[in-house]
Structures are given as structure tokens and as C-alpha cells.
């Protein structure tokens, strides 16, 4: 350790703390050169005859090419899902359905390492994250919902839960496998069938899931996995024989979907953007709080819709917190997603990196003060230094708009009422965090903050039993837990 000019401790990683590279082996991941569409239990060529590349954002190299489905392919998938629903899945005793879902969960666990490596290769997230969070949590969702399949009368006492039919599910690139599990598991546990589309930049783990589904002998057509970009998603949304749309993604596309399904009988759950406030009170355990803030925005490149991207610090501890944050920022390792030491991996795509850079520029133009880690970035691939902004106005764009990158704005406050007002002053309402030693303050904050999830003295904790979803422009409906079941049934 050395002392810097302003007497703060600075860790000298280049000399004392240099970590040797510890890359996870790629050899466990079998990625085919080309993937077709998974329709009716088989991999079939797209009628468009078109394919697009999926690349590794950490080195910009092509990993594979995947089919680009058009409206005719979607129609084929919806027909397969409808037939499976009418003839097999909705008629099957629930305890038999559960067995298939348990089987998928177990197979996912058996292949956990392969899923984790593919997730990190295709999406750019650190292997630590995909190995310890994404894949086990995805498997847990299949286990959890398999457990409910034959117990719906206990989930909804004195009511009969009837499946909705065919669900069209569209997911983003930040948690590709986990989002697929969030959506597929409760849908099929309640007797629905599915047409799922992963994001165009991260299709590979969903296609691996398709392989598992095929091996698990799930009746053909119960789950269909279709690849493509926005137009393919729109074809799912607009297909007349879809009963429910489950969408996770940007608020802009969420609004398009809402308009498209207005006046139809389609039900919808939408999990959209966020701009979460993370609030540190003066009585908080500051080291833990700083670690929680780092975890909340930086550990996943800020690619989390619930990322704690706005930090509010009580004035009396502001200087201490800022110093601790800057020191910690300097220790974060940015680089190869497959390296087990990496904290911040690659930004998911060139386009997303450009968006983040655009916002960093806007922050500077708006007069905010910027601090970036001095770490070296790899020469190839899409990487971004973790970035802090202080002197941020509440009205500034970097404090109001979702950046979806490792960029944190920091503001101060004096009273609880003031910070509640500031925290709620956003079009979003997905999540928030509160750091304090006082239980009564936590209860006051959680009741007054308009956020679907409020974490207290922790951040980004997920569990299949607990519901997740937002207020305002963060969408509607909940996923996870019992709430996640009710999104896929009619109660009579």
C-alpha cells in the first residue's frame, strides 16, 4: 500500500497484487458452427434461408451463426405450440409435467460448466458471474416451478388455475439463460406451451437449452426456440394465435409491444428498464455499503436492469464514501470474461459500448465531474472502464436515463424525505437499495419508495421464490415466486 497526495491509501496492483491469469478452459463448450430453429422438437432450417453471426464481444471473433426466423417460421412454431398445447401438454396430469421440468433442471445442473462458459463467451459476462449466479439460479427456477406444477390448488386455494395457451416470450441479452428459465419454467409448469426468442447477440445458451429439452424428451412443440432480431420478436407479438406475451427488454420496445397488443385478448407481462437508487445513510456499515454499491453497478458491466446506477450518500459521510469508492474502483479487474479473477467483463456489443460512451460524453458536457479507474483495457473487444460521476444535477440525463453500463452517478442528501423524493424522481421504478443500521428507517424507506424490489443492506439478491418486477415505465406484472405462476393462468 502507498499513500497518495491527498493521504488516501492506494493499492498498488501492478507490483504487490498482480493476479496471474486464471482462465476457464473453453474446451468444455461445444458450440456448433451453425444453429437452426428449434420447432416441434427438431432443429429445422429457417424458411428465410438467412443466418446471422453471433460473436464473442471480448475478442470480436465469430462464435457461430444462427438462423434468422421470419413470420413464416414464427407461424410454424406457434402452430406446433398450439398443437402440443391442445393435444398433449394441457391434458397431461400435472405430476407428469413436473417430471419433465425436474429432468430439465437436473440436466442443466449436470451441464452447468458448459452453460457458464458459453454464456461468458457469447455475452461477455465474467465467468464468476455466469458460473456462480446465472446458471445455478436458472436451474433453481426449473426446480422451483417443477415443484409447483402439481400443487396449483395450494398456490391458489379454492380456485382452479387454467393455463392461458401459447406464450410468446422475448428476452434480452443481459441474463440470457436465466431469463429463459424465468419465462419457460413457470409457463410450462402451469400447462402452457411456449415460443421463446433470445436476444440476437446472445442466442447460444437458449439453443443449448433447446438441446437439453430435446434430450429430456419433452413432448415436441411444448417449447420452441426461435432466433432472430427485432422483426422476429415483432412477428411473435403480432401472431394472432398467441395468448400471452412475456417480454423483458427496453422500455421503448415495451411501449411498441403494448401498442401492438392493445385491443387484442393477449395478456402481457413487461419487465423493462430501470434507474435504481442505492442510498447510503450515515449510520450504514460503510465498507459493506461500498462493496454493495460496486456489486450493484459494476460487477456485471452495469448490464442489469435493476443496476444501482444512482448513488445517494448522506452528506456527513459523502467524502469518506467517495474515497472508499474510488479506492475500490482502482482494484477492479477489467478484462477476459473467462478469467476467474475478472470483475468486469466485456460490454455485450459494439452498439452498447457506443451508447455507454455517448452517455459518458453527455455527463461531461452536462458539467458533472468524472472519475475513471486507471486500469488498462484489452486491445481487442468491447470494454469500458468503471466510471463515477459527481456534481450531478438531479435533472441531468445521466441521472435520469438508463445507461446500461458501468457508470455510476453520485449525489448527496440530508434527510430521509429529501432522498425519498430524489429516489422516486425518475420515470422508472424497478428496484432500489438502502444501507442503514436502523430497521425503522428501512421500513420507512421501503414503504415510500416506488420500486418493485427494495434491497436492504444488500443488493442484487435473487431467489426463485421471490417476485420481481416494476412500477411506472419499468413495466408491469411480476416474475418469480407465486406471482410468476399467476402470470400464466386464469383463475376460475
Residues labelled catalytic = 271, 305
Query: Does 103 participate in binding ligand ADP (rule CB under 6 A)?
Result: no
94-125: burial string, b at 16+ Cβ within 10 Å, e else: beebbebbbbbbbbbbebbebbbbbbbbbbbb
Q: Which residues contact 26 (CB under 8 A, 6 or more apart)?
A: 117, 121, 338
Query: Smaller CB distance to ligand ADP: residue 305 or 489?
Result: 305
Give the one residue of 256, 333, 377, 482 binding ligand ADP; rule: CB under 6 A.
Answer: 256
Give the one residue of 172, 186, 363, 433 binding ligand ADP; rule: CB under 6 A.
Answer: 172
Give the one residue of 24, 73, 200, 479 binding ligand ADP; rule: CB under 6 A.
Answer: 200
With CB under 6 A as the contact rule, which of the stretches 7-15, 145-153, 248-256, 430-438 interacts with ligand ADP?
A: 248-256
Shortest Cβ distance from residue 327 to ligand ADP (Å)? Answer: 32
Shortest Cβ distance from residue 198 to ligand ADP (Å)? Answer: 6
With CB under 6 A as the contact rule, which of the stretches 33-41, 60-68, 178-186, 193-201 interacts with ligand ADP?
A: 193-201
Query: Does 68 participate in binding ligand ADP (rule CB under 6 A)?
Result: no
State the binding string over 122-161 for ligand ADP (x if CB under 6 A, else -).
----------------------------------------
- Residue 132 Cα distances to 109, 139, 174, 342, 465, angstroms: 12, 12, 15, 13, 18
Query: Does 71 participate in binding ligand ADP (rule CB under 6 A)?
Result: no
Query: Smaller CB distance to ligand ADP: residue 165 or 198?
Result: 198
Subset of residues 278 to 297 that bind ligand ADP, contact rule: CB under 6 A: none
Query: Does 250 participate in binding ligand ADP (rule CB under 6 A)?
Result: yes
Query: Does 197 participate in binding ligand ADP (rule CB under 6 A)?
Result: yes
For 488, phi then psi, to 5°, come to -120, 15
Query: Smaller CB distance to ligand ADP: residue 31 or 196?
Result: 196
Query: Does 186 participate in binding ligand ADP (rule CB under 6 A)?
Result: no
179-197: burial string, b at 16+ Cβ within 10 Å, e else: bbbbbbbbbbbbbbbbbbb
Q: Which residues contact 101 (CB under 8 A, 6 or more apart)?
A: 142, 145, 146, 149, 185, 188, 189
Helix residue ranges, H only, 332-452: 350-365, 397-400, 416-424, 439-448
Shortest Cβ distance from residue 488 to ligand ADP (Å)? Answer: 19
Residues in a beta bridge with 167 = 194, 244
Asked if 347 and 339 touch (Cβ cutoff 8 Å), the reply is no
Shortest Cβ distance from residue 230 to ligand ADP (Å)? Answer: 3
What secondary structure does DSSP assign to 143-162, as a single string? HHHHHHHT-HHHHSTTS-EE
Cα 415 to Cα 37: distance, rounded to the nearest angstrom: 55
Cα 363 to Cα 277: distance, rounded to the nearest angstrom: 18
Query: Does 199 participate in binding ligand ADP (rule CB under 6 A)?
Result: yes
Subset of residues 226 to 245 that bind ligand ADP, contact rule: CB under 6 A: 229-230, 233-234, 237
Interface residues with ligand ADP (CB under 6 A) are 170-173, 197, 199-200, 229-230, 233-234, 237, 249-250, 253, 256-257
Amino acid at each position: 500500500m502507498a499513500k497518495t497526495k491527498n493521504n488516501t491509501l492506494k493499492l498498488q496492483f501492478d507490483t504487490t497484487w498482480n493476479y496471474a491469469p486464471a482462465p476457464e478452459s473453453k474446451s468444455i463448450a461445444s458450440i456448433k458452427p451453425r444453429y437452426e430453429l428449434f420447432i416441434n422438437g427438431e432443429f429445422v432450417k429457417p424458411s428465410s434461408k438467412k443466418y446471422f453471426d453471433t460473436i464473442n464481444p471480448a475478442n470480436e471473433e465469430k462464435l457461430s451463426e444462427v438462423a434468422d426466423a421470419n413470420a413464416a417460421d414464427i407461424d410454424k412454431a406457434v402452430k406446433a405450440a398450439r398443437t402440443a398445447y391442445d393435444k398433449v401438454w394441457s391434458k397431461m396430469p400435472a405430476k407428469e409435467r413436473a417430471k419433465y421440468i425436474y429432468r430439465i433442471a437436473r440436466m442443466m445442473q449436470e451441464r452447468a460448466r458448459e452453460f457458464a462458459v458459453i454464456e461468458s463467451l457469447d455475452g461477455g459476462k465474467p465467468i464468476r458471474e455466469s458460473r456462480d449466479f446465472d446458471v445455478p439460479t436458472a436451474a433453481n427456477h426449473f426446480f422451483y416451478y417443477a415443484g409447483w406444477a402439481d400443487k396449483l390448488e395450494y398456490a391458489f386455494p379454492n380456485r382452479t388455475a387454467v393455463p392461458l395457451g401459447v406464450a410468446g416470450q422475448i428476452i434480452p441479452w443481459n441474463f440470457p439463460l436465466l431469463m429463459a428459465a424465468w419465462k419457460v419454467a413457470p409457463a410450462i409448469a402451469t400447462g402452457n406451451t411456449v415460443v421463446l426468442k433470445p436476444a440476437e447477440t446472445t442466442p447460444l445458451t437458449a439453443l443449448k437449452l433447446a438441446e437439453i429439452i430435446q434430450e429430456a424428451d419433452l413432448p415436441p412443440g411444448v417449447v420452441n426456440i426461435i432466433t432472430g432480431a427485432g422483426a422476429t420478436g415483432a412477428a411473435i407479438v403480432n401472431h394472432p394465435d398467441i395468448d400471452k406475451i412475456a417480454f423483458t427488454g427496453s422500455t421503448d420496445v415495451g411501449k411498441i409491444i403494448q401498442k401492438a397488443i392493445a385491443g387484442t385478448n393477449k395478456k402481457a407481462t413487461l419487465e423493462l428498464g430501470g434507474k435504481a437508487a442505492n442510498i447510503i445513510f450515515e449510520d450504514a456499515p460503510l465498507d459493506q455499503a461500498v462493496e454493495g454499491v460496486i456489486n450493484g453497478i459494476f460487477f456485471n458491466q452495469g448490464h442489469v436492469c435493476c443496476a444501482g446506477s444512482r448513488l445517494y450518500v448522506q452528506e456527513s459521510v459523502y467524502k469518506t464514501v467517495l474515497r472508499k469508492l474510488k479506492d475500490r474502483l482502482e482494484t477492479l479487474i477489467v478484462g477476459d470474461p473467462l478469467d476467474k479473477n475478472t470483475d468486469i467483463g466485456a460490454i455485450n456489443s459494439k452498439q452498447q459500448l457506443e451508447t455507454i460512451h455517448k452517455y459518458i460524453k453527455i455527463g461531461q458536457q452536462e458539467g458533472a465531474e468524472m472519475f475513471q479507474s486507471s486500469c488498462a483495457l484489452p486491445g481487442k473487444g468491447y470494454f469500458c472502464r468503471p466510471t463515477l460521476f459527481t456534481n450531478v444535477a438531479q435533472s441531468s440525463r445521466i441521472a435520469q436515463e438508463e445507461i446500461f453500463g458501468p457508470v455510476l452517478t453520485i449525489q448527496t442528501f440530508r434527510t430521509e424525505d429529501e432522498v425519498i423524493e430524489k429516489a422516486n424522481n425518475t420515470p422508472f421504478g424497478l428496484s432500489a437499495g438502502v444501507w442503514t443500521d436502523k430497521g425503522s428507517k428501512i421500513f420507512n424507506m421501503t414503504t415510500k419508495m416506488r420500486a418493485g424490489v427494495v434491497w436492504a443492506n444488500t443488493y442484487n439478491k435473487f431467489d426463485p421464490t421471490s417476485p420481481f418486477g416494476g412500477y411506472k415505465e419499468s413495466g408491469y406484472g411480476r416474475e418469480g415466486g407465486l406471482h410468476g405462476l399467476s402470470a400464466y393462468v386464469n383463475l376460475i
